Amino acid sequence: MASRVSGMRVHLDTEKCQGHNRCYALAPELFDVDDYGQAVLLGDGDVPADLEDKARLAASNCPEYAITISD
């Protein structure tokens, strides 16, 4: 998938993550879940332009505020 890079970056604080998996359900292109049910970032945090909305959605739906966005 060759997508334009948006300049947006997504950051995951694994210390805060409690493994609700909402991020994975909402944005499987950006997040995966490890063997312990904890979220992991796919890639290096750069958000392709066409995934900006999903990144914001995941951040706003994480109950632990473990996902942050920087533009």
With b for 16 or more beta-carbon neighbours within 10 A and e for fewer, the 17-48 pattern comes to beeeebbbebbebbbebeeeeebeeeeeeebb
Closer residue to ligand SF4 (CB): 3 or 18: 18
- Where does this chain touch ligand SF4 (CB under 6 A) — which range of 1-9, 11-19, 45-53? 11-19
- Where does this chain touch ligand SF4 (CB under 6 A) — which range of 2-10, 18-26, 41-49? 18-26
6 binds ligand SF4 (CB under 6 A): no
Q: Could you give the CA distance from residue 67 to residue 2 in angstroms, rounded to a whole number?
A: 24
Minimum CB–partner distance for residue 15 and ligand SF4 (Å):
10
